[in-house]
């Protein structure tokens, strides 16, 4: 199937059977779950979005014509990118761009993006077909440290408002292992007892969501069913959403009360059908 419940500019955000869009609520707890939780550190969930914060998504119909010079040349996709003066760049040190081209359903993502007098530059860049389960070559980064796409892991206000989030969410941890697990393709850590890039966590089923507001329950239910994917090094338990000034203050405040101890790592090994495809077997 090539249609998901989450559409953007008429495009699927990867196929319905993609790893990001596959539930993990029935999978077993990972044997190293408590060790990984301890290594990330205890604390509270932190929504890294709201107001001016978050990762902006740009939708365009323009053909990609911009050449970008990359710092990590050997692991970046050297194609024209649809970057223009109107492309939105994340307001943080990561300076991500996430651009979806309408019609072709191509996703263009860059990290550490800057417009210089000599042209566009970025740390790294990746181009994805939103209708495909193809992964990057093993060992390659993307615009994310794990070598994964950013877009499918962003929480969006439109889906929360509509009452259903049907995909996993991207999050960060302060330390990661020098390895990655499917479908991640790249490592960026040195701590052997920390979780690897691509590790997936879910909110425990016994966490009571009933006392939260309706919008917050939508997010928490998604965290129980689809979980979160470790995609980058950063602050503990920060999870990402798309930039929007419509994010309700109550939603942000309530999400910040969820303890990290309410999460558990899941064993996603049984989901893998091929190490070189993001197509997943239902849990």
Predicted pLDDT of residue 46: 98
Question: How far apart are alpha carbons 201 and 225 in whole angstroms?
Answer: 10
Q: For residues 138 and 144, is the Cβ–Cβ distance under 8 A? A: no
219: region left, alpha or beta (phi > 0 left; psi from -120 to 50 alpha): alpha
**276 within a domain of the structure (yes/no):** no
Q: For residues 101 and 108, is the Cβ–Cβ distance under 8 A? A: yes
* Core vs surface per residue 164-196: b (16+ CB within 10 A) or e: ebbbbbbbbbbebbeebbbbbbbbbbeeeebbb
Comparing CA positions, the residue from 110, 150, 156 lying closest to residue 130 is 150
Dihedral sign, Cα of residue 221, residue 88, residue 125, residue 178? negative
**85 within a domain of the structure (yes/no):** yes
**278 within a domain of the structure (yes/no):** no
**230 within a domain of the structure (yes/no):** yes
Dihedral sign, Cα of residue 125, residue 158, residue 129, residue 5? positive
Residue 181 tokens, joined: 């697990």
Q: Which domain holds residue 264?
A: 7-271
Question: How far apart are alpha carbons 194 and 265 in whole angstroms?
Answer: 12
Question: Considering all CA atoms of the chain, what is the largest pairwise distance in Å, rounded to the nearest integer?
Answer: 55
**2 within a domain of the structure (yes/no):** no
Q: For residues 255 and 49, is the Cβ–Cβ distance under 8 A? A: no
Domains of the chain: total: 1
**266 within a domain of the structure (yes/no):** yes
* pLDDT by residue, tens only, the chain of 283 residues: 233 446 788 999 999 999 999 999 999 999 999 999 999 999 999 999 998 899 999 999 999 999 999 999 999 999 999 999 999 999 999 999 999 999 999 999 999 999 999 999 999 999 999 999 999 999 999 999 999 999 999 999 999 999 999 999 999 999 999 999 999 999 999 999 999 999 999 999 999 999 999 999 999 999 999 999 999 999 999 999 999 999 999 999 999 999 999 999 999 999 999 999 999 998 7
Lookup result for tokens 């309408």: 102
Predicted pLDDT of residue 79: 97
**151 within a domain of the structure (yes/no):** yes
Determine the length of the chain: 283
């Amino acid at each position: 199937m090539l249609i998901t419940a989450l559409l953007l500019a008429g495009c699927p955000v990867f196929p319905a059977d993609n790893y990001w869009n596959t539930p993990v609520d029935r999978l077993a707890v990972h044997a190293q779950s408590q060790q990984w939780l301890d290594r990330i550190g205890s604390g509270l969930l932190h929504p890294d979005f709201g107001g001016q914060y978050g990762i902006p998504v740009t939708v365009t119909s323009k053909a990609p014509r911009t050449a970008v010079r990359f710092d990590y040349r050997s692991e970046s996709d050297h194609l024209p990118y649809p970057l223009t003066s109107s492309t939105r760049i994340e307001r943080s040190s990561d300076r991500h761009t996430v651009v979806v081209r309408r019609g072709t359903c191509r996703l263009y993502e860059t990290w550490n993006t800057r417009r210089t007098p000599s042209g566009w530059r970025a740390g790294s860049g990746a181009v994805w077909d939103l209708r495909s389960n193809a992964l990057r070559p093993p060992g390659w980064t993307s615009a994310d440290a794990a070598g994964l796409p950013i877009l499918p892991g962003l929480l969006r206000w439109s889906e929360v408002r509509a009452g259903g989030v049907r995909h996993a969410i991207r999050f960060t941890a302060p330390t990661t292992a020098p390895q990655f697990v499917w479908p991640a393709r790249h490592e960026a850590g040195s701590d052997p007892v920390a979780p690897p890039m691509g590790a997936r966590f879910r909110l425990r089923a016994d966490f009571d969501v009933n006392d939260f507001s309706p919008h917050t329950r939508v997010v928490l239910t998604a965290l129980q069913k689809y979980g979160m994917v470790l995609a980058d090094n950063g602050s503990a338990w920060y999870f990402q959403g798309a930039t929007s000034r419509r994010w309700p203050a109550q939603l942000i405040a309530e999400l910040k009360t969820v303890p990290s101890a309410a999460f558990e790592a899941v064993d996603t090994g049984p989901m893998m059908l091929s190490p070189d495809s993001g197509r997943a077997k239902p849990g």
